[in-house]
Structure 1
């Protein structure tokens, strides 16, 4: 769990998501401005979230799903997920994020991105992180750019959203300083 102390203490803590967070996920995903920026549907179900959260990491140990919590409630969620089982893509992870409307623009997304990028760069050997973001979600795009993500393309009519098809930007970040092999110092004879 990541907690701040001192005069610049944040009003939230970061930790791994757990199945008991399901009610909070359903509440957060019921916010129109949250679910419309994701591939979620209206009227989220807590039991469905409990199942999703119970199954995380089962097939891919590198997966990390974090939440930001304030006053005992989940206010944001972000995760890194392996893109698949293909051996030649094991260096790639996908990123997803959601922040409850009252907490947007208050540094929660930056805190989550900092931890996820640190995890990807230093613990699981991810060389590439990729994500999709709707073209009109400029706040999220600015956050991703701050962490080195670049636009790689546009997916036209990517998803049906509020009765219209919306385009999505494909963004990716390559490891800023890929790990190198460290050799042992030569033994002196």
Structure 2
């Protein structure tokens, strides 16, 4: 699904994007906001992202062929949780606040709603990441809880916020 903005293209992740994804997640500003370790190899990202699974949607945002963002949406495989999924995303620091995250999230949520029939999409985000929290709220995500001392970042324990978007489907009739 290409984006309507001709300068930013949203497309399915492929082997051709591995180096760009590795560079994106190894950027210090990005590593700081996600749960990935710094200095991950291309091989680690290939192993993490290449398995083909119908319950996983992996997209990249490209500008002039360069990876500037990505999102991965996964429908949960447990039968009693198959109505739900979760996602993780990152946008290159130079592209934050320019609509890339909105394009990625809109595309992923369209797939979640209209192709995967997900009722619930959930995420965790560092509680001090105001820009990301604002983006998620713009798309209907609501706070569900605070996980205290959830992860270590810069040698300090940090909190994360649990958020979810519940989709209401109009009943026929």
4+ aligned runs moved over 4 Å, structure 1: 179-182
Aligned-partner SS, 1:39: coil
Equivalence map 1:31-42=2 (5 Å): 31-42=27-38
Tell me how far apart the structure 1 counterparts of residues 159 and 37 of structure 2 sit (CA, whole Å).
Answer: 17
| RMSD value, Cα | 1.4
1:111 aligns with 2:103: yes
**Which residue of the other structure, out of 78, 99, 102, is the alignment partner of 2:94?**
102
Aligned-partner SS, 2:50: helix
Tell me how far apart the structure 2 counterparts of residues 76 and 41 of structure 1 sit (CA, whole Å).
Answer: 18
Residue matched to 2:57: 64
Residue matched to 2:159: 167
Tell me how far apart the structure 2 counterparts of residues 86 and 179 of structure 1 sit (CA, whole Å).
Answer: 25
**Which residue of the other structure, out of 123, 127, 152, is the alignment partner of 1:131?**
123
Tell me how far apart the structure 1 counterparts of residues 107 and 24 of structure 2 sit (CA, whole Å).
Answer: 21
**Which residue of the other structure, out of 16, 23, 26, is the alignment partner of 2:22?**
26
Larger CA Rg, structure 1 vs 2? 1
Aligned-partner SS, 2:48: helix
**Which residue of the other structure, out of 161, 166, 169, is the alignment partner of 1:178?**
169
In the TM superposition, residue 62 of structure 1 has moved relative to its aligned partner by 2.7
* Structure 1: tracts of 5 or more residues without a match: 183-189
- Which fold has the larger relative contact order, with Cα–Cα distance below 8 Å and residues 6 or more apart in sequence? 2
Tell me how far apart the structure 1 counterparts of residues 3 and 78 of structure 2 sit (CA, whole Å).
Answer: 36
Native 8 Å contact 1:19 1:51 kept in 2: no
Deviations 1:42-84 (A, max 9, x none): 1021111112221142xxx13211110111111000121123x
Tell me how far apart the structure 2 counterparts of residues 149 and 56 of structure 1 sit (CA, whole Å).
Answer: 28
Native 8 Å contact 1:21 1:50 kept in 2: no
Question: Would the alpha carbon gap of residues 161 and 82 (structure 1) be closer, same or farther in structure 2, given more than 3 Å must change?
Answer: same
Residue matched to 1:186: none
* Structure 2: tracts of 5 or more residues without a match: none
Deviations 1:105-151 (A, max 9, x none): 00000111111111111111100000000011000000000010000
Native 8 Å contact 1:15 1:67 kept in 2: yes
- Normalising by structure 2, we get a TM-score of 0.94
